Amino acid sequence: MSFEQCEIGFIGGGNMAEALFGGLVAAGRDPVTVLVSEPNDDRRGTIAARHGVIVTADNRDVAANCETVVIAVKPQVMAGALEPVSDELAARRPLLVSVAAGITLDSLDRFSGGGCPIVRAMPNTPALVGRGATALVANDTATPAQRARAEEILAAVGITTWLEKESLIDVVTALSGSGPAYFFLIMDALCRAAERRGLDGETARLLCTQTALGAATLAMASEDSLERLRLNVTSPGGTTEQGVNALKAAGLERALDDAIGAAEGRSRELSKPS
């Protein structure tokens, strides 16, 4: 089979890859220009049927044909996926885009044989529903046009922003990478508190999740600081003020600072070359 028409290739066809190529196809990209390399037979059948993309079991087909290679395997199999095709990558030097947590630009350069333009992306799970938040950082080899190509792929599943230096990716991992779990924890605790006071679980969840969505939507639409937005809905002597005071007295701000620090530290540890 010829793969000549394939422009964007994926190494690994799991959840994050499917969100990305699904987003690109939904945005109008011709699915036959997308090649996905995936070892699992059933999974290949599923993604080909769902999206019309071209599939292969051989990572070399992607390395040998695509201008852009998105690497969407688990961090622990990254070296095993890239090193066997590094001869092809080093000879052709396609744009590599990695979404793997904790794998540095230097490691990616080493695994891919050296010399490729590389963009490292840190997306988060809401990308799976088109509401991702992705930070990007590029190596010096990547041109502005290649950076724009990488950004277009991640923009198919949410908002994107560029980082000036790679070390900031550990803070991003702690903030938006791990962030969905913090919000789930907070929403769960709020719902339980409401249930303990008599509200049924279904109603509590509906009101709480819509409130989170509404607060986030208001914050995204406004140029006011987050503090100003909070003050706008906190009348002196009212109910919100009492609730906010209780959160502050219980140390919420300190707890969240600790959470970011702990997650950032762990991200840095995981990024150290083994």
Query: For the chain, percent helix, then strand, then coil, each to nearest 5?
Result: 60, 15, 25
* Contact by Cβ (8 Å): 89, 112: yes
Four-residue CA torsion sign, 74, 79, 85, 87: positive
Q: Measured from the CB atom, is 82 or 95 closer to ligand NAP?
A: 82
Which residue bears the tokens 């999974």?
43
> Across the strands, what pairs with 161?
135
- Taking contact as CB under 6 A, which single stretch among the options 70-78, 157-165, 239-247, 256-264 is the one that binds ligand NAP? 70-78
Q: Does 31 bind ligand NAP (CB under 6 A)?
A: no
23 binds ligand NAP (CB under 6 A): no
Q: With CB under 6 A, what is the number of residues at the site for ligand NAP? A: 28
71 contacts: CB under 8 Å, gap ≥ 6: 10, 11, 12, 78, 81, 82, 96, 97, 98, 99, 100, 108
Q: Does 13 bind ligand NAP (CB under 6 A)?
A: yes
Q: Does 15 bind ligand NAP (CB under 6 A)?
A: yes
Given the complex with ligand NAP, which of 10 and 191 has the nearer CB atom?
10
Work out how close the CB of 261 gets to ligand NAP at its nearest, in angstroms, rounded to a whole number: 20
Closest separation in Å from C-beta 141 to ligand NAP: 22
With respect to ligand NAP, which residue has the nearer C-beta, 100 or 142?
Answer: 100
The H-or-E segment that residue 62 falls in is helix 59-65
Is residue 102 left, alpha or beta, with left meaning phi > 0 and alpha meaning psi from -120 to 50? Answer: left
Those residues with Cβ within 8 angstroms of residue 39's Cβ, 6 or more apart along the chain or in another chain: 57
Burial class (CB in 10 A: 0-12, 13-18, 19+), 43: middle
Distance of closest approach, residue 226 Cβ to ligand NAP, in angstroms: 24
If binding is defined by CB under 6 A, does position 72 make contact with ligand NAP? yes
Residue closer to ligand NAP by CB (options 38, 204) is 38
Q: What's the closest the beta carbon of residue 45 comes to ligand NAP, in angstroms?
A: 13
Contacts of 59 (CB under 8 A, 6+ apart): 11, 37, 81, 84, 85
- Positions in 80-119 near ligand NAP (CB under 6 A): 80-81, 99-101
The distance of closest approach from Cβ of residue 238 to ligand NAP in the complex, given in angstroms and rounded to an integer, is 38
Closest approach of Cβ 13 to ligand NAP, in Å?
Answer: 5
Backbone angles phi, psi at 83, to 5 degrees: -60, -40
Binding-site ranges for ligand NAP (CB under 6 A): 11-17, 37-40, 43, 59, 72-75, 77, 80-81, 99-101, 123-125, 127-128
